[in-house]
Structure 1
């Protein structure tokens, strides 16, 4: 069961974490609360509450280290929560893995409060953007079931029996929540300045009955420097005059616990006030002194009838410092749930299952707002029409939508199905891009000739009749409206055909079919394959009356680059907006700034050249015409026109509650709104978030870690799928082993935290400060030996001077016999188990032959994970046994010599020489094979071959060299560097690195002497041993040597099992490509095991894009180096800054953020696009939809022309690639192979000297 082994989250966990169904909100709460803080004074508190009627209440505050606070006032707004995500306004709280990881993102304007000298404060507004990954550090504490019964009983027992029973019932209903400690890592950008924040605190998830009576509740939150996290609640609703105390306490050396004692003195929240709090559980007793450092922030509104005060506090507890909050909730009555009329336009009434879906729907009909029926464009147009009806400040041209029901009827035809199967067969055969392009072209041509179903044709004709005699003079725009189009996950910009200036009913009918056929074009099919979407998906078509615009363009109601809502950007050109959207002409650009309580004010105007404009032709269609020279130098809109236009845009945005990308037109002084869609990259994860997404939460700011030892077994960055598998090996299957080996110590039984190896930036580390090792200078010989065995030196005492947390788990001496028995049993049984497991891993056979779908293969892989259990357990047992033998030997030698000296370790290393160690056999076999090749008559032929030819020769040649090579691969072919990583190809799949080693061995001069391992005897020791010590050494040394060999053999067995799972993953990846779920097999390894299952069920485009971005980041993360020993959040070793000496530097317009450094690929025309290679920075004039398949290969984009909505900028933002446009003349300044730095944050481009050790 994948749930039982922690391979995936349980359905119940997902149910508890995700937003509740709307139908439950009239009776139940749905609240999510996070807080975090650190020693530097940075803090964050965020609360999101959902109510009935699609209402959400949220508040947020950030505390910067400089004392400034940034707050989002408490407000009721439109609840846009869906799936696993709480979202409203600019806030998004997304559950990535239930009870394990969350993503907290915000982009918007916050109220900035600057502390004044006199105690007052100056208030301004500031653009704030952040993205945090919250990772758990503890299990959950569920309330009320896990609260201290004694503490609750003490309060309730003071009441009269009837009141006591009533209050207990009420408390149990309302207090359905759970606390969980965690760490947040992310990037915070305030007014354009970014910084990395690491915060510690709690998540509180509340799901109890709705509370509407009056009460006051104080929630005290705190984080101490040793990692203790607490949440104490005092409420006056229960327990009589003294109220009721309850809460949670997380102690890293123990687990998340309920407090069994609580008392708080001094309840004032004024600045400078002190609060004394006493809490405890068992032997843990905390006396906390809190000083409120600033004026309490107040959040509240009339609708909620609830006021919240938040006061930051500095904490002291037993000579420790900490940070925290007091949150006071004063409820004055029931919530009214009133919501502004602005938000009612987005509401979609649930249609009865018995109601037939219309074939054609007018945008004024309520059903038209359903995206499942009318697609992305159609549903947004219906909402836009509804907004226009309310405000009367703009007009939406009349339109109707040919619904997805019509498409389904059209797609039932036999000829249609036959044509679609042609394209699907291309995918199953793995045809080349050229063959696919040819097939798509022939399919689209044939499909365009198919007739519309009679019923659909009649419905369209009925809608067209409303125009009466004016129909002949009307022009229409016929546009595709696919499900998921213009969404936050996929923009599908320009992928399907749009027809403009269409006249007559017959032409409209013809264009509807062509729109449907266009989703099978080469460009569209490739786009869908890149996002893992089905080739044939339901599509509606919008038929909209065209406006013969005098001026038209695009409006972003936020800064299109940074997402800053304070700025609104308008681009405009004469005629229709097509010239702006297609970037065929340089438009005018207007930037306006919002001012509180007033309309946005024009801040800057950049007059574009506007050399061409689009207008309706005299016949069908549109034409591009030149703009007269005098008009090119003039603004196409006056200032007051722009300000009126933007005011309308803010009205539309207010109804959607998120920034919008709006196409508009002006004709005869009237404003027309043609399309509206969300800014699709608004909540796209930053590279920083993706880098930290799978991090393990650290328990405090002063944890100690090392890369020693672990960097040999798990070097560099590990792929996400492999992280899932390795977690099973060492955190799930070895948890019982860990418990037995350390039975004297308390344990957290949760699977949420790793046992030994935390992850940071996809790198593994060893955790030193878990509380079981004494890191102080008074460490004993055994503890010092452990440090030596791990790091090669004694670091006890040294690490404490670097500020490491002094954490010691309490031991239960009564469990010492149990622990000793377990360890001795492990010492004497590991070798027996190893022989059996080693044979089992060799005999293991996994096969997916005969399975027809990726889902079947995934289920088989899931059911095969249990094969990792015993090899993992044996490996850890062998490693522990070897370590124990080493520690005992070192202890004996230290006793004989008088201390643990370097000489002791030198002698110890000699003792272990010998034994049949498998890892030592590999280089020996390579050397032997190299010697054989050197003596062979084929030596010169072998050395003259290419690597590929040499591999082929060794695999096929019938001579002693080939036989020995194939025998080596049979025995060791599952090994290689990074062999635990499923993404790595072992020698049996890619022996090229092996062949390079063989070449070096074959070319090496023949050795005239044979080296032998030095012999060692007890008599060689430089100090005198006692009789008992000699007996012990004679008994232990052979076993210690065997233990070393056992450790390597068991490692080989586990790696062999992982390789056999790798073969299943390879088949699964190939099958997912054939089914069109992922574009390339490599992407499978950049999804977690659970994400693969989700993708198979949902075809989530966001997961495919995330995998592509992880794959792009992986090489850089793999290069990063870390210190061998450090305290605190792991930070890479900073290499010396490169001296930038480019031939030139120029500045363009940044359109997508990020930084890329690499080789330029100058491609002036699309005909040369096939020359692009992975990692290139594309330099070209401009891009269109045909370039999209090449974007996954790129690391950056530079174009000479373009704007915020140009194809290159849009797709670059989707893929998270840095992009700069407007680099005039760059294709003539650079050549392919030039080494350049592209800064998408500033728009700077520099040509650099090529790295000395790299070739393009």
Structure 2
């Protein structure tokens, strides 16, 4: 039988193999260069059997409507191609073009990725159905890329266009050209260009050309690129909290009067604040200015910020001021409410199915919005008091960095800060363990985990205290994908090991200066002194309130994290997800569509988005934009070329030492005593390493950030807002960090 066929290709063709919404391509068998009856029968059986292969069954077990019910076998004359490849009649990544990819020999090497292809990006206007085209264009394109000649490329494009016309949809085709120039079309499937994910998929669609956009502030809370689930839950809640604040201030009547993501937004999933609507507060509240707003949110004046708005009448602005100050002064009530939410929220109770758990999450999702709104009361109060301090000091001292340094001095030695207790309580645990068993000093993280289960009463109490109070915290803790310490033994015990090996001793805190003495030191007298001391006391209370409310807010988020992780485990068990991590690359609503509607094309989206996250994370942005932010390239200014990087002085002191660039927990685990940590940001997750390092350099940060609060408490010099620090400084570089004037000096390694 097969002897009459000659050499053939035996290809599987399942009933639902390729569709507009999903693809099972690659799961079924194809056998090339089949000769002889025995090989032919074996190839056919192999193709038929692949319908029920483990891979195919696992893929389709959940999506019953997507499952291929039947398998056909296609037998094609085997072509010995000179060239082969694929043709997309619409280039998925370049609108208005047709894409041809070609390799020498079999196209299998292109599909498998073992050969690099020549690419021909042909404008659709050049692909004329009557065969006419600009010959110079084809000649130049072929000369540039080689491989295909002009006539071969023209014929490919012309026939591919006819295939698209016949099917009425963009097509993904496979082709081969034999040794005498004959063109064969081997396969055609529809492509869904509009379903392809891109790095800017979640960018807002509204016009922001006249808006001031900054990554200040939000870059500390959620630095780097975030996942789609975080974008649709936490970032939405941040945005809602800001819109709620603006409604109280009189900018709008209700939060939903402003567009979603009009205040907090993602550009390629990197987060920014849009100051367009906050700036409108200048027109609706007495004694409010863009400069006030800049300092309240960003800790400094933004040079690119230019906006003007019509002012409301005096009585409207006076009433809005009354309401807004009431909002700020309700900070203590906000903390009580937020604590009640954080302590009572339960999402994981009972034995339920995915549908039931998702409904529980969905019914409670607005709690995220409420918790962020409550946190914004304490955060706004803290920022407003700090901004007011700046304005008072500015009347006497004009240099911005000098003012920031004075503010930092006023905010030193604050007792009762929640984030500072993280390291203190870890040190208490480490001390108890060392007292009980000095051998723990050389224990590995795994050995510590085992020992904690059998340790004595004092150490056990210290451990339980830490987990109860701080177990919900983590690196990048507002990211849904990040796991809290209570649920991440590996991370927690690595941190504990670091603290134990540092000696675990709590350094004696130097007595702080009385704030009256600081005011006297800088020459403030009478009325200005009275106002400044009041604002300082409010700012110091504000720091404590803000850090406590942030911890409570993260506790709420952590409850949702746990519920989503449990839901992901259920979906993997039922075959709805290939792996648990993939849930973070779907939005909250998409998870519902996956569960209720069996929307299988979402799996493809999630996989694409996960591949894009590294690309999004590698993007670099400036701090402030007029209009939509665009990723910037690394540049060096004159000061940097001289070996000096400039930033903002956040915590005073001068230190010289070796730099350690930290971009991940694995990098942080390499920190050695006395090294200067250089990071894009500092958040709660780095706290255990503060007992090791000599100082901090960050690319973002402000006087009220977590890094600043903890650094000041432990007398660690900190310079923030050092652009591209993690790229310009390398691990091992010797640097001098001056937290008083905001400079970082790079030294030659042989100095």
- The TM-score range, normalised by the shorter chain, is 0.5 to 0.7
| 1:1079 alignment partner, SS class | coil
CA contact (8 A) 2:85 2:107 kept: no
| CA distance in 2: counterparts of 1:774 and 1:1114, whole angstroms | 35
| CA distance in 2: counterparts of 1:544 and 1:903, whole angstroms | 78
Larger Rg: 1
Q: Corresponding residue for 1:732? A: 240
CA contact (8 A) 2:16 2:67 kept: no
| Counterpart pick for 2:131 among 585, 598, 618 | 598
Structure 1 pair 730–591 and aligned structure 2 pair: CA distance change class (3 A)? closer
Q: Post-superposition shift, 1:851?
A: 1.0
Q: Corresponding residue for 1:1068? A: 567
Q: Post-superposition shift, 1:579?
A: 8.8
Q: Post-superposition shift, 1:860?
A: 1.7
| CA distance in 2: counterparts of 1:995 and 1:638, whole angstroms | 63
| 2:365 alignment partner, SS class | helix
TM-score calculated relative to the size of structure 2 = 0.67
| CA distance in 1: counterparts of 2:292 and 2:113, whole angstroms | 71
| Counterpart pick for 1:867 among 357, 367, 377 | 367
Q: Corresponding residue for 1:487? A: 19
Q: Corresponding residue for 1:537? A: 67
Q: Post-superposition shift, 1:517?
A: 4.0
| CA distance in 2: counterparts of 1:1035 and 1:603, whole angstroms | 77
| Counterpart pick for 1:990 among 480, 488, 492 | 488
| CA distance in 2: counterparts of 1:760 and 1:1017, whole angstroms | 42
Structure 1 pair 961–481 and aligned structure 2 pair: CA distance change class (3 A)? same
| Counterpart pick for 1:923 among 403, 410, 423 | 423
CA contact (8 A) 1:710 1:765 kept: yes
| Counterpart pick for 2:312 among 811, 814, 820 | 811
| CA distance in 1: counterparts of 2:529 and 2:381, whole angstroms | 20
Q: Corresponding residue for 1:677? A: 188
Structure 1 pair 585–1085 and aligned structure 2 pair: CA distance change class (3 A)? closer
Q: Corresponding residue for 1:25? A: none
Q: Post-superposition shift, 1:488?
A: 4.9
| CA distance in 1: counterparts of 2:366 and 2:513, whole angstroms | 43
CA contact (8 A) 1:744 1:816 kept: no
Q: Post-superposition shift, 1:1115?
A: 3.8
| Counterpart pick for 2:519 among 1021, 1034, 1039 | 1021
Q: Post-superposition shift, 1:1079?
A: 0.9
| CA distance in 2: counterparts of 1:533 and 1:1033, whole angstroms | 65
CA contact (8 A) 2:246 2:281 kept: no
Structure 1 pair 922–809 and aligned structure 2 pair: CA distance change class (3 A)? farther
- After superposition, the C-alpha distances for 1:773-799 in whole angstroms (9 at most, x for unaligned) are 799xxx98965454344444444xx43
| Counterpart pick for 2:414 among 901, 906, 914 | 914
Q: Corresponding residue for 1:877? A: 377
Q: Using CA pairs under 8 Å that are at least 6 residues apart, name the structure with larger relative contact order, 1 or 2.
A: 2
Q: Number of aligned residue pairs: give it.
A: 616
Q: Post-superposition shift, 1:877?
A: 1.0
CA contact (8 A) 1:848 1:1064 kept: no
Report the structure, 1 or 2, having the larger helix content: 2
Point out where structure 2 has 5 or more consecutive residues left out of the alignment: 637-729, 733-751
| 1:1107 alignment partner, SS class | helix
Q: Corresponding residue for 2:647? A: none
Structure 1 pair 963–579 and aligned structure 2 pair: CA distance change class (3 A)? closer
| 1:936 alignment partner, SS class | helix
| 1:810 alignment partner, SS class | coil
| CA distance in 2: counterparts of 1:875 and 1:584, whole angstroms | 50
Q: Does 1:760 align with 2:267?
A: yes
| Counterpart pick for 1:826 among 327, 346, 365 | 327
Q: Post-superposition shift, 1:983?
A: 0.5
| CA distance in 2: counterparts of 1:1105 and 1:578, whole angstroms | 24
| CA distance in 2: counterparts of 1:755 and 1:591, whole angstroms | 40
| CA distance in 1: counterparts of 2:477 and 2:436, whole angstroms | 34
| CA distance in 1: counterparts of 2:594 and 2:229, whole angstroms | 13
Structure 1 pair 665–1100 and aligned structure 2 pair: CA distance change class (3 A)? farther
CA contact (8 A) 1:592 1:603 kept: no
Q: Does 1:707 align with 2:206?
A: no
Q: Post-superposition shift, 1:863?
A: 1.0
Report the structure, 1 or 2, having the larger strand content: 1
Match runs of 1:285-434 below 5 Å: none
Q: Post-superposition shift, 1:581?
A: 9.9
Structure 1 pair 824–720 and aligned structure 2 pair: CA distance change class (3 A)? same
| CA distance in 2: counterparts of 1:583 and 1:682, whole angstroms | 22
| 1:1048 alignment partner, SS class | helix
- After superposition, the C-alpha distances for 1:811-834 in whole angstroms (9 at most, x for unaligned) are 343322431332243244331342
| CA distance in 2: counterparts of 1:579 and 1:898, whole angstroms | 71
Q: Post-superposition shift, 1:942?
A: 2.3
| CA distance in 1: counterparts of 2:209 and 2:513, whole angstroms | 48
| CA distance in 1: counterparts of 2:365 and 2:231, whole angstroms | 14
| 1:1054 alignment partner, SS class | helix
Q: Does 1:1113 align with 2:625?
A: no
| CA distance in 1: counterparts of 2:497 and 2:364, whole angstroms | 38
Q: Post-superposition shift, 1:1082?
A: 0.8
Match runs of 1:38-57 below 5 Å: none
| CA distance in 2: counterparts of 1:747 and 1:920, whole angstroms | 37
Q: Does 1:981 align with 2:493?
A: no
Match runs of 1:138-153 below 5 Å: none
Structure 1 pair 812–694 and aligned structure 2 pair: CA distance change class (3 A)? farther
Point out where structure 1 has 5 or more consecutive residues left out of the alignment: 1-469, 607-634, 1138-1250
CA contact (8 A) 1:703 1:769 kept: yes
Structure 1 pair 871–1122 and aligned structure 2 pair: CA distance change class (3 A)? same
CA contact (8 A) 2:419 2:547 kept: yes
Q: Post-superposition shift, 1:482?
A: 2.9
CA contact (8 A) 2:86 2:175 kept: no
Q: Does 1:1123 align with 2:654?
A: no
CA contact (8 A) 1:826 1:877 kept: yes
| CA distance in 2: counterparts of 1:844 and 1:794, whole angstroms | 39
Q: Corresponding residue for 2:451? A: 953
Q: Post-superposition shift, 1:702?
A: 5.4
Q: Post-superposition shift, 1:864?
A: 1.9
| CA distance in 2: counterparts of 1:1021 and 1:843, whole angstroms | 44
| Counterpart pick for 1:655 among 156, 160, 166 | 166
| CA distance in 2: counterparts of 1:682 and 1:1048, whole angstroms | 46
